[in-house]
Copies of this chain bind each other. A is one copy, B any other.
C-alpha cells in the first residue's frame, strides 16, 4: 500500500504542497473548487496526516494527560467521565497515565510518566496525586500547566491549581453522624499520605472525635484491598473487641475490610458499624448497603478540566502576543467541592425503602 504524503497529493493534483496543506487544514487561500479536487485525491490515495510531522511543525499541542494511581478505585472512573465531558474530543485528546502497577503506586513510574509527557510536549496535566516536587518543577520549567484533583500540590508549589473535596468539612459531617449514633470508639483505616486527601479527612475526624468525646484510632495501610485486609486483620487480632465503627478511607480499603469482616462473620452494623469515603456503583447492593461520603467526583473532574483548558488558552493567547509562555495561576484556581453523606444501612441507620436507589441523604 502507498503510505501517501502531502507531496503525493501535490504530484497527483498538480497543486503545490502549500495549497494541499491549506486545503486539508481548512484554511483559506484555496478556492472551493481546488479544495474539493484535493480532498477527493486525498481520499482516493487513502491519505492520513502524519501527526508527528504536524506536531513538530506547529506549536499548538492538543493533548492533555490525567495522572492517577490505582485506577481500580471506582472514584476515578467518575472523575474521568467528568473530565471527558469538559474536553470536546474533537479538539482535545485525553490520555490517561496510570503510575501504579498491580494497584500499588510506584515512584519509578511517576518519573517515567513525567518524562514521557514532556517528550510529547503535552499541553497540560491533571494529576490525581501529589506529584513529587522535582516533577512539578520540571513541568513548570517546560511551561506545562498542572491542575491537581482530589489532591494538593506539593508544598513547594502551593500556588498550583487544585480542585478537591472539602475533606475536613466532609469528615466533620461523618463524625457528627457517628456521634449521633452514639459511637465512641472509631477506627479510621486509611491510605498513606502520598494521597494528600488523607490530611483533611484525618484532621476532620480528629476534630470531630475531640468535639464529641470519641476515641479515634488511625490505622494506616498501603492503598489496595489486599493490604487493607491484612492490616485490619492484624489490628483486630490485637484488640479485645472490634471498635464501634470502622471508617474506610476509600473504596479499595473498604473492599478489603468488607472481605475480612465477612470472613470473620462480624455483623454490620450489629457488631461494628461501617462508613466509607467514595461512592461506588454497588454500594446499595452490598450486604448491608454501605453508608458513604459521595464526593461528586464527576463534578470535580469537570471543573478541573475546564480550569485546565482555560489556563492553556490563556497561555496560548499570551504566547501569541509575545509574552512569556509560563502558565498563570490565580487564586480562583483553588476550588473545593462539597461532599454529601449518603445514609444506608451499614452505619446503623434503620432505613425503610429509601429513595429509588435505597439511600437517604444527610440533611
Residue positions of A touching B, CB distance < 8 A: 1, 3, 46, 48-56, 71-72, 77, 80-81, 84, 89-90, 93, 95-96, 98, 101-102, 109, 112, 115-116, 118-121, 138, 141-143, 225, 255, 258-259, 262-263, 281-282, 284-288, 356-358
A48-B142, A263-B358, A286-B287 known, 10 other contacts, Cβ within 8 Å:
A3-B142, A51-B52, A52-B55, A52-B56, A54-B119, A72-B77, A72-B281, A89-B112, A258-B285, A259-B284
Q: Which of A52, A112, A121, A287 has the most CB of B within 10 A?
A: A52
Q: How many copies does the complex hold?
A: 2
**Shortest CB distance A61–B (Å):** 9
| A and B contact pairs by CB, cutoff 8 A, 18 listed | A1-B141, A1-B142, A46-B138, A48-B118, A50-B56, A50-B119, A51-B52, A52-B53, A52-B120, A54-B119, A95-B95, A96-B96, A225-B281, A255-B282, A258-B285, A262-B284, A282-B286, A287-B288
| Nearest CB in chain B to that of A95: its residue | B95
Which B-chain residue is minimally distant from A1 (CB atoms)? B141
Q: Nearest-CB distance from A312 to chain B (Å)?
A: 17
Name the prevailing secondary structure of the A interface residues: mixed
Contact residue among B71, B119, B287, B356 (Cβ-Cβ distance under 8 Å from A263): B356
CA distance A14 to B54 in the complex (A): 31
The chain B residue with its CB closest to the CB of A116 is B93
CA distance A181 to B143 in the complex (A): 65
